[in-house]
A and B are shown apart, each in its own frame.
Chain A
Amino acid sequence: NAGVTQTPKFQVLKTGQSMTLQCAQDMNHEYMSWYRQDPGMGLRLIHYSVGAGITDQGEVPNGYNVSRSTTEDFPLRLLSAAPSQTSVYFCASHPWEDNNYGYTFGSGTRLTVV
């Protein structure tokens, strides 16, 4: 049981480049989210999904796209990277019907945009 798997773990991009951060979970969780974590600002919600085919925006969605074609996968796309997107990105999931179950987080992707 791998839990939530994020790839890559580290990435350096040049300004203007695009890339996709991968996230996959094998727990059959309906709810998946992407957060970014910056020093002193905690975790901020980028996008989330309540199930396959359904996505919505969080607190800081600009510059990012998501899709949810399967229950397992929830990739995050950076359309045109900017230095302000330098951050640690976490993908997380939890089962929709069990509120007593907190998020399971992936190990994170550390992204630097130069």
Chain B
Amino acid sequence: GQNIDQPTEMTATEGAIVQINCTYQTSGFNGLFWYQQHAGEAPTFLSYNVLDGLEEKGRFSSFLSRSKGYSYLLLKELQMKDSASYLCAVRGNTGGFKTIFGAGTRLFVKA
């Protein structure tokens, strides 16, 4: 089976850096994804990691350690519009390559 854990809520200040952690247990692994979801809207794809290390995309970076079952999403130069939920998701490599989501981390950015 698969299990994904991430903090329920985080608060950070505009202009700062925040790191959102995700730990997972899976019987097979074919990639880890991060999505952003604003309240009342659909999730949107942010990043994908399949190999260990850091992937950088502008203000957003995502890190993966497969041996530790651990990932984090790093958001730099926080803006008020970054207030949203951030969803960690893992794709398996068996049984149809299903993608399972964590419950999400609600990030509040304050001025």
From A41, A50, A58, A107, B42 is in contact (CB under 8 Å) with A107
Does the CB pair B48–A102 fall under 8 Å? yes
Residue B84 interfacial (CB < 8 Å): no
Q: Which range holds the interface residue count of chain B?
A: 20 to 34
CB pair A45 B42 closer than 8 Å: no
Q: Which residue of chain B is the closest to A38 with respect to CB atoms?
A: B103
List chain B residues, Cβ under 8 A from A42.
Answer: 87, 101-104
Q: Are A103 and B99 in contact (CB under 8 A)?
A: yes
Let me know if A102 and B50 touch, CB within 8 A: no
Chain A residues with CB under 8 Å of B31's CB are 99
Per-position 1/0 for A1-36, Cβ under 8 A of B: 000000000000000000000000000000101010
Size of A's binding interface in residues, CB under 8 A: 25
Which residue of A is nearest B4, CB measured? A42
Q: Report if A84 contacts B (CB, 8 A).
A: no
| 8 Å CB contact of A99 from B30, B95, B98, B103 | B30
A35 to B103, CA, bound (A): 13
B97 to chain A, nearest CB (A): 8
Bound CA–CA A90/B31 (angstroms): 21
> Which residues on A are within 8 Å of B, measured CB to CB?
31, 33, 35, 40-45, 48, 50, 56, 58-59, 90, 99-108
A-binding residues in B (CB < 8 A): 8, 30-31, 33, 35, 41-46, 48, 50, 87, 89, 91, 95-104
Selected A-B contacts with CB under 8 Å, 5 pairs: A42-B101, A43-B87, A48-B98, A56-B96, A103-B99
Q: 8 extra interchain contacts, Cβ-Cβ under 8 A, other than A99-B91, A101-B48?
A: A33-B98, A42-B87, A42-B103, A99-B31, A102-B46, A103-B99, A107-B41, A108-B42
